Every structure is written in C-alpha cells, then in structure tokens.
Amino acid sequence: MSLRIKAVVDKFVKELTEALQADIQDRIMKEREMQSYIEEREREVAEREAAWKAELSRREAEIARQEARLKMERENLEKEKSVLMGTASNQDNQDGALEITVSGEKYRCLRFSKAKK
C-alpha cells in the first residue's frame, strides 16, 4: 500500500510541477507581450511628440518671419508718412505759428482755416 501512496504522491508532485511550469511560462509570455506593447506605445508617443515639436518649430519660424515682415512694413509706412505728411509740431511761439517739416525742410504756418468738404 505504501507503494501505491508513493506512486500517487509522485504523480501528484509531477502534475503539480508541470502545472507550475506551465503557469510560469504563461506569465513569462504575458510579461513579454506586455513589455512589447509598452515599447510600441512609447515609440508611437515619441513619434507623435517629434512630429508635434517639428510642427511647433515650423510655426514659430513662420511667426518670426511674419513679425520681421510686419516690422519692415511698419518702418516703411512710417517713412512714407514722414515724407508724404511731414511732421508737424505745435511750437510755443509768441505768434502761435505751427512748424511743419517736410522732407527735412521746415515751413511755418501762421493762419489756419478749416478744409472745405
């Protein structure tokens, strides 16, 4: 009878060992699958981040170009205004004359009248 018990115990131990080995292998496979999935997701996120940064850099460069163009246009407008309109400044003269500078030449105006429409 002890041989039968020993055989049953040996069979149980063998089956239990096999089940444990199968469970361990299953867990190892799941761990590898999970690690592979995580690496793939990290790669996807890194690609999206790189694309986003490239787009951001492109937009920042475009904004800088537009700002430079706007600044140049503003400077040109100021030059045109200066040439076309002259610069007028009300002088605190005794006679109340208005001095106007057009293209570097000064003019004095003593009398004013409203422009007709």
Is the model's pLDDT at 99 over the cut of 80? no
- Please write the tens of the pLDDT for every residue from 39-97: 999 999 999 999 999 999 999 999 999 999 999 999 988 887 766 665 555 555 566 67
Is the model's pLDDT at 22 over the cut of 80? yes
Confidence of residue 25 (pLDDT cuts 50, 70, 90): very high
Could you tell me the residue ranges of all domains in the chain?
2-84, 86-117
What global pTM score does this model have? 0.46
Say if residues 95 and 111 touch (Cβ distance below 8 Å).
no
pLDDT at 106: 75
